[in-house]
Structure 1
């Protein structure tokens, strides 16, 4: 595939990468083949040095300019007229990449509950296969938030001098018991759905609604909910906050599936950058790229001090902070601050 587009063609282009090269996972399980859906914007320069690789968060997709519309696009910080921007849908996610509802080539049936266990390191390894396929020898900036930040950190270790800049937003080098606890509560909600265990695309759908409601409480700060979901009138029931959480649960369940959610939250739990690398500090020290770790002052899921730790231990690390009432999700909302922090970093 020729990635050198004409100067007029700066639009979004969707692609699918199919690999028949076995991918050996940290668990010892193996994908004999798999697909990654990915999206590109802009064009490569002559030396292929303008690559911006975006890694999406838990329930994101490869259309980065849609969910990061304040950061990617014409006249935005990452402008396709200047950069070649790529974002791949993570393995396990249901937006075009191989996931639990996909057909297992070895059995001829959908994986469902037999889908292999994944880790952020596995997800990074699949992205590395795509990078090699595209013959991209240098990445200018690798950027990701939350789960995407975990994957980006893992990949940054392996990329070495092939990566110039790593931007890690609202993430961590090792998942805390606090985050694992939130994720386990969500999976318990999915398990409580009577359809969980059945082999249908809607298995666990109502449980996923409840899981998303739990997750939203960790994505937002109490002051943000108070500001946006308080009731002005006196009432005994029918509160705005309750309706908001139910709406968010239904919204996600209509676009995502519970099996992918289960798989990717398990992957998030397993993050330990130091596993097999003499510990987290040594792993962070081994990153050759400049690292910008960005925390959010009101994030109570991935705490600001976790981003500070990344910046402190990386040999070329910097820490910056987003000031927002939005909590964890500020990295998807505060485009103005993000652009300013990135401009100062560059």
Structure 2
């Protein structure tokens, strides 16, 4: 299937990878088979050294030209005229990959609440199955923010010398109690929906609206809301911020499902690079590629301290910081700063990915 992005003159190809090989999960459960929806743009060069693999965040999809339009696309930093850009929808997500609403081959019915627990390590393992399917022995750059950064770090650990650069933005090496707590309150909101537990694709939809509203409070910095949601008149009710959060909740619930949100938020909570590897610092020390860890000075969810921790414990680490009022979401907004940081990183490492 070929899609023409409104932002690009170079055709994007969207495909489905069907894996008939069982995926053994960290939980001990097994997915007997699965599929991943993925896109590619650009061409693999003769040296096969221009692969850029993009990993999306919690509710993202396989079309990074849409949600990272300032970074990926024609005449952007990662340009499909120079790079072979790959992005796959995560296992558990609802944009074409195997997820809780998919049919369980063992029963012939949707998984619903029987869908297995996933970890970031499991998601990275499914990505590697796709890499092997595409015949890629080497990846130049894996890049992701938030949940995508967690998966990228897990994958960097297992890829070893097959990866040149890992760019981890607004993420961490182990989920903090703060993140897990925010995610748990969102799942509690979903649980409180009276439709939750029913065998229905729309189960938990109202709860998901509330969950998203809770999430939005952690994605932005308080100053962002002061700047954009403050009132110009004296009021006792019907505040702008209230309408904004309700709108954001409905917007997500109309494009996502509560079961996938539940599954992927649990995967985010599971993130611990050092699990069964001697601890976080020891695991980071075994990552062989160059690592650029980018923090955001106002990020309340994935703090810049956590980002800096990554760079300090990998053998080839670099730390850079985005200054922004937008909090965690700055990695999807501050394109000029991101491009400057990326350009500097590649130049410092004598690596001209843009040529």
Give the CA deviation at 1:48: 1.0
Alignment deviations for residues 156-213 of structure 1 (CA, whole Å, 9 cap, x no partner): 0000010000000000100000000000000000000000000111000000000000
- Size of the aligned set, in residue pairs, is 340
Q: How does 1:19-58 map to 2 (within 5 A)?
A: 19-58=19-58
Match in the other structure for 1:84: 84
Mapped partners of 1:266, 1:212: distance in 2: 15
Tell me how far 1:106 sits from its aligned partner. 1.1
1:3 maps to what in 2? Answer: none
Q: In the aligned structure 1, how far is the partner of 2:239 from the partner of 2:125?
A: 45
Q: Equivalent residue for 2:259?
A: 259
How many Å apart are 1:274 and its aligned residue?
0.2
User: What's the TM-score once normalised by structure 1's chain length?
Assistant: 0.97
Report if the CA contact (8 A) 1:20-1:32 is conserved: yes
Answer yes or no: is the 8 Å Cα contact 1:170–1:331 preserved in 2: yes
| C-alpha contact (below 8 Å) 1:10/1:43 kept by paired residues | no
Over residues 95-129 of structure 1, what are the superposed CA-to-partner deviations in whole Å (9 max), with x where a residue is unaligned?
00000000011110000000000000000000000
Residue 98 (structure 2) pairs with residue 108 (structure 1): no
* In 1: Cα distance, 2:288 partner to 2:54 partner: 19
Q: 1 CA distance for matches of 2:40 and 2:114? A: 31
CA–CA distance in 1 between the matches of 2:244 and 2:9?
40
CA–CA separation in structure 2 for the residues paired with 1:317 and 1:273 = 16
Structure 2: tracts of 5 or more residues without a match: 1-7, 347-355
Q: What secondary structure, in the 3-state scheme, does the structure 2 residue paired with 1:80 have? A: coil
**Equivalent residue number for residue 249 of structure 1:** 249
Report the equivalent of 1:13: 13
- Aligned twin of 2:350: none
State the match for 2:286 in structure 1: 286
State the match for 1:300 in structure 2. Answer: 300
Q: How far 1:10 sits from its partner (Å)?
A: 2.9
Counterpart mapping for 1:142-221 below 5 A: 142-221=142-221
Deviations 1:269-302 (A, max 9, x none): 0110001111111111111110000000000100
Structure 2 distance, partners of 1:11, 1:167, is 25
Shift in Å, 1:9: 8.3
| CA deviation after TM superposition for structure 1 residue 340, in Å | 0.3
For the residue of structure 2 that corresponds to 1:53, the secondary structure is strand
Superposed displacement of residue 245, structure 1: 0.3
Residue pair 2:38, 2:86 contacting (<8 A) in 1 also: yes
Matched, 1:332 2:341: no
* In 2: Cα distance, 1:271 partner to 1:78 partner: 28
**Deviations 1:250-273, CA, capped at 9 Å, x for gaps:** 000000000000000000001100
Q: Give the CA RMSD over aligned residues.
A: 1.1
Is the Cα contact below 8 Å between 1:9 and 1:42 reproduced in 2?
A: no
Aligned 1:213-232 pairs, distance under 5 A: 213-232=213-232
Q: How far apart, in 2, do the equivalents of 1:324 and 1:9 lie?
A: 31
TM-score, L = length of structure 2: 0.95
TM-superposed CA distance for 1:234, in Å, is 1.1
Runs (4+) of structure 1 exceeding 2 A deviation are none
2:45 counterpart SS class? coil
Secondary structure, aligned partner of 1:86 = strand
1:228-239 matches, within 5 Å, as 228-239=228-239
How many Å separate the matches in 2 of 1:306 and 1:202? 36
Q: Is 1:130 aligned to residue 130 of structure 2? A: yes
Q: Which residue does the alignment assign to 2:3?
A: none
- In structure 2, distance between residues paired with 1:106 and 1:194: 28
Q: Which residue of 2 aligns with 1:4?
A: none
